[in-house]
């Protein structure tokens, strides 16, 4: 048997293969040379940029008030250098848990011409400017009031803060009807009161408009003047509901005036008296303002922008339950209302409403067909910011009340 032998390359094939190999070597040498040249150019450019930056900063320091040097300095400081991979470097001081950094500033899709601003006119507020804070402006001996977004909108409309062992189906509550067969009728068909607004902690008040700090020890923020405390926000809410055709009663009693710890017991007596006299009441709103103090002593100002670009306090519903041992068979209906209210508010005004808080205590919410403990703003918000939120809450409640 003859063994098969591989044919040797002909004389013409051998120099061809060698030429291919040499070409590959030359290509690799050219590529290495180009890479070295690119690195040298990059390092030279970076070196020149650093030297120029130092010169501009040095001369700009001595040329006080020079607009040219100020502009050059600002441009050099804001310059974004790239690393060798071509990706923009990220500041190491950025807090990855700060949800306010994920809020985009709203920019128009097309360039628009704006009329020249009159002298003294303030520029329009954006989310970027709303959440920016200058710690250096805080007076010595005072604590900052930090504007923050606490809406947690990224968690979805069905998200709640649950401090109980209950496991409600929030999706079913959110998208299901408030009543199995709601009787929908125009609100103007009756003059009977449908809503009661009261204040268990009526003396809760707000910060001065524009305040960026507070003196430690004054974080309680209380006032018995119903024109400047949370009762004034309740008045705005009641008036706006009336404008929408919702007959509303507003109790201005300060239930926390005599003794704070018995406020809910006195508020219960008030609710029972109103329900006995006006059985038509469907919804009881216990209106509060929140108090959020960080462990560092900084006061939080939960805030967003309304459609007019005005700073507006964020809102939160606290829902009581039977988890604490008290009877409250209405808690799921109240939670459904809170979820629907949040979804509608956030659909109309970005990040206006925080997630509902499900708690173990009942907060007198077992008394009426529907009840909400409504927190409008916090101590860090101003009264005007809270009133703007109350107007928006009234618009949405007027749409939900006919379903009750």
The pLDDT tens digits for 370-379 are 999 999 999 9
Across the range 1-22, mean pLDDT stands at 45
Range from 24-38, 171-185, 223-237, 279-293 carrying the lowest mean pLDDT = 24-38
More confident residue, 311 or 24: 311
* Tokens read off for 244: 């929408």
Provide the CATH number for the domain around residue 219.
Answer: 3.40.630.40
More confident residue, 347 or 181: 347
Q: Helices marked H in 113-229 — which ranges?
A: 127-131, 170-175
- Closest Cα to residue 155, out of 104, 102, 94? 102
Q: Based on the domain organization, do 360 and 260 belong to the same domain? A: yes
Q: Based on the domain organization, do 165 and 295 belong to the same domain? A: yes
Check pLDDT > 70 for residue 65: no
What pLDDT is recorded for position 51?
76
Q: Based on the domain organization, do 149 and 255 belong to the same domain? A: yes
Asked if residue 120 belongs to a domain, the reply is: no
Cα gap 400→149, rounded to integer Å? 25
What pLDDT is recorded for position 209?
95
Q: Based on the domain organization, do 39 and 187 belong to the same domain? A: no
Check pLDDT > 70 for residue 30: no
Asked if residue 33 belongs to a domain, the reply is: yes
Beta 370-378 vs 315-319: how paired, if at all?
antiparallel
Which strand (E) or helix (H) includes residue 376?
Answer: strand 370-378
Q: Based on the domain organization, do 71 and 147 belong to the same domain? A: no
Q: Based on the domain organization, do 164 and 65 belong to the same domain? A: no
- By residue count, the chain amounts to 404
Q: Based on the domain organization, do 69 and 158 belong to the same domain? A: no
Cβ contacts of 53 within 8 Å, gap of 6 or more: 76
- What is the C-alpha R_g of the chain? 32
- Is the backbone of residue 241 left (phi > 0), alpha (psi -120 to 50) or beta? alpha
* Tokens read off for 354: 């925080």
Check pLDDT > 50 for residue 84: no
The neighbour count for residue 38, using CB atoms within 10 Å, is: 11
Check pLDDT > 90 for residue 194: yes
Asked if residue 119 belongs to a domain, the reply is: no
Across the range 220-233, mean pLDDT stands at 96
Strand ranges for 26-179 from DSSP E: 142-148, 161-162
The per-residue pLDDT of the chain, averaged, comes to 81
End-to-end CA distance of the chain: 99
pLDDT band at 180 (very low <50, low <70, confident <90, very high): confident
Long-range contacts of 226-232 (CB under 8 A, 24+ apart): 226/202, 226/252, 226/254, 228/383, 229/202, 229/203, 229/204, 229/205, 230/199, 230/201, 230/202, 230/203, 230/204, 230/205, 230/206, 230/287, 230/288, 230/289, 230/376, 230/386, 231/199, 231/202, 232/383, 232/387
Q: Give the range of the structural domain holding residue 24, as residue numbers without chain letter.
A: 13-77
What pLDDT is recorded for position 263?
96
Asked if residue 386 belongs to a domain, the reply is: yes
Tell me if residue 150 falls in helix, strand or coil.
coil
pLDDT band at 285 (very low <50, low <70, confident <90, very high): very high
Strand ranges for 20-171 from DSSP E: 142-148, 161-162
Across the range 215-241, mean pLDDT stands at 95
pLDDT band at 43 (very low <50, low <70, confident <90, very high): confident
* Tokens read off for 240: 């706006």
Query: Residues 375, 237: contact at Cβ < 8 Å?
Result: no
Domain count, the chain: 2
Check pLDDT > 70 for residue 35: no
Query: Residues 234, 288: contact at Cβ < 8 Å?
Result: no
pLDDT band at 120 (very low <50, low <70, confident <90, very high): low
More confident residue, 128 or 97: 128
Q: Based on the domain organization, do 320 and 236 belong to the same domain? A: yes
Q: Based on the domain organization, do 303 and 387 belong to the same domain? A: yes
Check pLDDT > 50 for residue 105: no
Across the range 3-17, mean pLDDT stands at 44
At 274, phi and psi to the nearest 5? -65, -40
Cβ contacts of 141 within 8 Å, gap of 6 or more: 215, 216
Q: Based on the domain organization, do 72 and 164 belong to the same domain? A: no
Query: Residues 304, 392: contact at Cβ < 8 Å?
Result: no
Asked if residue 126 belongs to a domain, the reply is: no
Check pLDDT > 70 for residue 72: no
Cα gap 206→382, rounded to integer Å? 5
Cα gap 342→352, rounded to integer Å? 8
Across the range 179-204, mean pLDDT stands at 80
The pLDDT tens digits for 312-359 are 999 999 999 999 888 999 999 999 999 999 999 999 999 999 999 999
Asked if residue 94 belongs to a domain, the reply is: no
Where does a domain end: 35, 54, 77? 77
Where does a domain end: 77, 101, 132? 77
What pLDDT is recorded for position 6?
43
Asked if residue 358 belongs to a domain, the reply is: yes
Across the range 168-181, mean pLDDT stands at 90
Asked if residue 38 belongs to a domain, the reply is: yes
Q: Based on the domain organization, do 35 and 176 belong to the same domain? A: no
Query: Residues 231, 202: contact at Cβ < 8 Å?
Result: yes
What pLDDT is recorded for position 213?
96
Check pLDDT > 70 for residue 208: yes
pLDDT band at 44 (very low <50, low <70, confident <90, very high): confident
Where does a domain end: 34, 62, 77? 77
Across the range 234-253, mean pLDDT stands at 97
Tell me if residue 289 falls in helix, strand or coil.
strand
């Amino acid at each position: 048997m003859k063994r098969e032998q591989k044919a040797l390359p002909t004389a013409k094939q051998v120099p061809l293969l060698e030429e291919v190999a040499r070409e590959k070597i030359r290509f690799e040498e050219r590529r290495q040379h180009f890479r070295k040249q690119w690195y040298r150019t990059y390092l030279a450019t970076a070196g020149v940029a650093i030297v120029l930056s130092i010169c501009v900063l040095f001369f700009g320091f001595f040329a006080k008030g020079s607009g040219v040097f100020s502009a050059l300095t600002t441009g050099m400081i804001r310059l974004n250098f790239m690393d060798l991979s071509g990706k923009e470097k990220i500041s190491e001081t950025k807090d990855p848990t700060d949800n306010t950094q994920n809020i985009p500033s709203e920019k128009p899709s097309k360039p628009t011409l704006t009329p020249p601003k009159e002298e003294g006119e303030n520029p329009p507020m954006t989310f970027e400017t709303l959440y920016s804070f200058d710690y250096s402006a805080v007076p010595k001996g005072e604590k900052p009031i930090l504007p923050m977004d606490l809406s947690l909108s990224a968690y979805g409309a069905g998200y709640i803060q649950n401090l109980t062992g209950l496991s409600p189906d929030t999706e079913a509550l959110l998208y299901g009807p408030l009543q199995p067969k709601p009787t929908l009728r125009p609100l103007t068909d009756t003059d009977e009161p449908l809503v009661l607004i009261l204040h268990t902690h009526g003396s809760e008040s707000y910060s001065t408009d524009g305040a960026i700090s507070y003196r430690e020890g004054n974080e309680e923020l209380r006032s018995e003047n119903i024109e400047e405390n949370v009762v004034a926000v309740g008045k705005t809410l009641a008036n706006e509901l009336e404008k929408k055709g919702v007959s509303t009663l507003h109790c201005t009693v300060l239930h926390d005036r005599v003794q704070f710890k018995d406020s809910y017991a006195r508020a219960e007596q008030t609710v029972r008296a109103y329900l006995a006299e006006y059985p038509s009441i469907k919804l009881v709103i216990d209106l509060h303002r929140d108090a959020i103090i960080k462990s560092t002593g900084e006061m939080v100002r939960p805030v967003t922008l309304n459609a007019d670009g005005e700073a507006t306090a964020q809102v939160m519903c606290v829902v009581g339950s039977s988890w604490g041992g008290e009877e409250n068979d209405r808690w799921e209906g109240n939670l459904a209302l809170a979820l629907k209210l949040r979804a509608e508010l956030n659909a109309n005004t970005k990040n206006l409403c925080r997630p509902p808080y499900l708690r173990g205590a009942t907060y007198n919410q077992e008394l009426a067909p529907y009840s909400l403990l409504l927190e409008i703003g916090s101590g860090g918000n101003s009264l005007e910011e809270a009133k703007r939120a109350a107007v928006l809450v009234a618009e949405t409640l007027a749409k939900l009340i006919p379903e009750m």
